[in-house]
Amino acid sequence: MIKSFALKFLLAFFLLSSCALLDDEDENILPGKRESVYDSEEKLILKANKRIELEKPKIISNWSQQHQNLKNHLFHFNSNSTLRFERRIKLGDINLDKIQHITPPIISENTIFYSDNDFNIVSKNLETGKLNWNIKLEFEKDENFSLVSGFFLDNNTLFFSTGLGNIYSVDTANGKIKWFKKFGIQFSRPPVISKDKLFLVSDDNQLYAINKTNGDVMWSHLGNIEELSIIGGSKPAVDEGIIVVSYSSGEIFALNENNGSIIWFDNISTTNFFSKTNINDIQSPICIEKGKLFVPTFSNKLLTYDLKTGKKSWDIRLSSISPMVISGETMYVIDINGKLMSIDKVSGKLLWAVQLRSKKGDSEINWSGPLLSSYKLLVVSSEGNVLSLSPFTGKTLSNIKFKESFISEPIQVNKKIYLISKEGSLYILS
């Protein structure tokens, strides 16, 4: 494990033409207790020297997979101008016993699907908090291994895999298992469905294309084995008939999603054995946006490629295990040291950066996010902070503090934002 941030598992079909400018920004303040979340009074490391333009925010009605869509492209979501705490729903014990990890839930309209630490898959009504159904994972219970790699909701079917190497297809109406397959290989990344195929990456660096109707393997692809890696990783990204997969070896493959043939390939691995960046794992979600592939890595590189040819555009020194947000010509990402950065996606130039507090006494503080919602950048911390910043300047708009610890990225559906705590609560801001 690499400190306490070592495990994170880890969005747009619609491209918007209208833009909102810096002059239109409102400071929408959340209520709550104020306290410093910065390491120093020098909050802004670099003032933006380029006019930042954002695409208009868009309403979405579901978060049916991790990072919302097949491209892993977190874009600009639409929420209310002022966010307020609405209510808290108790989910139960959802944090794994031996490692600080929560399998990110998915949400569709008024229903949340999640896993708990007692081998249950749960469907719950978000309006009433009442249980729709739950499934006991008997094989996982027998082996005392409750890790669920992630969920994918495909119409009325919920797909998920487990660390035990099992894949499940479940009817969302009643919780009945449609089909079940034993692979015997650990899965710790979320699944992806495109057309008729379910795509899964195993921890020994194999990509499986599985018939989503019956669970049969249609084709597979094998990467190199890596002895040193972080559990989890990016789910594949899919666009224009191309599926891009990253392996813990530092390999990146762009494959034909129909048959698995290689379109292009790269390897970001380092040759410095004694460097901390010898870990070549790619934990941040690889992201496709407007024909470009963005790959943030743990090994101090953020790279950009042409999706179809694999030609590199630019790369910069940056280590991250967090998702990226891209809107207009601007990217936002948190690095492994808790620095929130705004980067020009065309040139890779840093526009502004904010160093979030990474320690409180002897304890580390971990930050999750960001989420871009109605001209507010939201990040949450393991100390219970919900911090809202200006996407144009990095200026603090508000900071509220809850009593529980957030170790998972915020989720948004319609105009509500959902925060998941390690203590097993779902906080709803609306």
Q: Measuring CA to CA, which residue among 14, 150, 23, 10 is closest to residue 77?
A: 14
Confidence of residue 28 (pLDDT cuts 50, 70, 90): very low
DSSP assignment string, 133-152: EEEE-HHHHHHT---EEEEE
pLDDT at res. 31: 43
Q: Which domains does the chain have, with CATH numbers?
A: 3-429 (2.130.10.10)
pLDDT tens digit sequence for 369-385: 999 999 999 999 999 99
pLDDT tens digit sequence for 398-427: 999 999 999 899 999 999 999 999 999 999
Confidence of residue 102 (pLDDT cuts 50, 70, 90): confident
Q: Which residues of 182-203 are buried (b: 16+ CB within 10 A; e: fewer)?
A: ebeebbbbbbbbbeebbbbbbb
pLDDT tens digit sequence for 177-228: 999 999 999 999 999 999 999 999 999 999 999 999 999 999 999 998 765 4
Angle CA 134–139–145, to nearest 5: 90
Q: Is the pLDDT of residue 44 over 70?
A: no
pLDDT at res. 96: 75
Q: Which neighbouring-strand residues pair with 406?
A: 421
pLDDT at res. 11: 31
What lies within 8 Å, CB to CB, of 98 at 6+ separation is none
Mean pLDDT of 107-117: 95
pLDDT at res. 227: 54
Q: Is the pLDDT of residue 43 over 70?
A: no
Angle CA 129–31–107, to nearest 5: 30
User: In percent, how much of the chain has pLDDT > 70?
Assistant: 83
pLDDT at res. 362: 87
Mean pLDDT of 167-181: 97
